[in-house]
Amino acid sequence: LKEATGCEGVNILQNNGEIAGQSVFHLHIHVIPRYSKDDANIKWTPGTQDVDKLNAIAEKVQKILQEWFENLENYSVLKRNMS
């Protein structure tokens, strides 16, 4: 994309949920060429987040994923046993 457009950088973006800017409700990926003087407003300042809060969220996500995979494994075993 940089070679084709001459852009200086690229954002690859997937919005998930209306509050995050999703307007078409299926999975799609935006590939946005970026230029030093463009007006795209995609900003995030690294290092400004509450690390304790992020760690608490990460623990919750890990627990949810662990439960999800355990349920998936149990479902797969049940399905195999029913065949």
Contact indicator for 13, 42 with CB cutoff of 8 Å: yes
Please state, in angstroms and rounded to a whole number, the distance separating the CA atoms of residues 26 and 17.
10
Q: Which helix (H) or strand (E) holds 45?
A: none
Beta strands (DSSP E) in the chain are: 9-13, 30-34
> Which positions are catalytic?
28
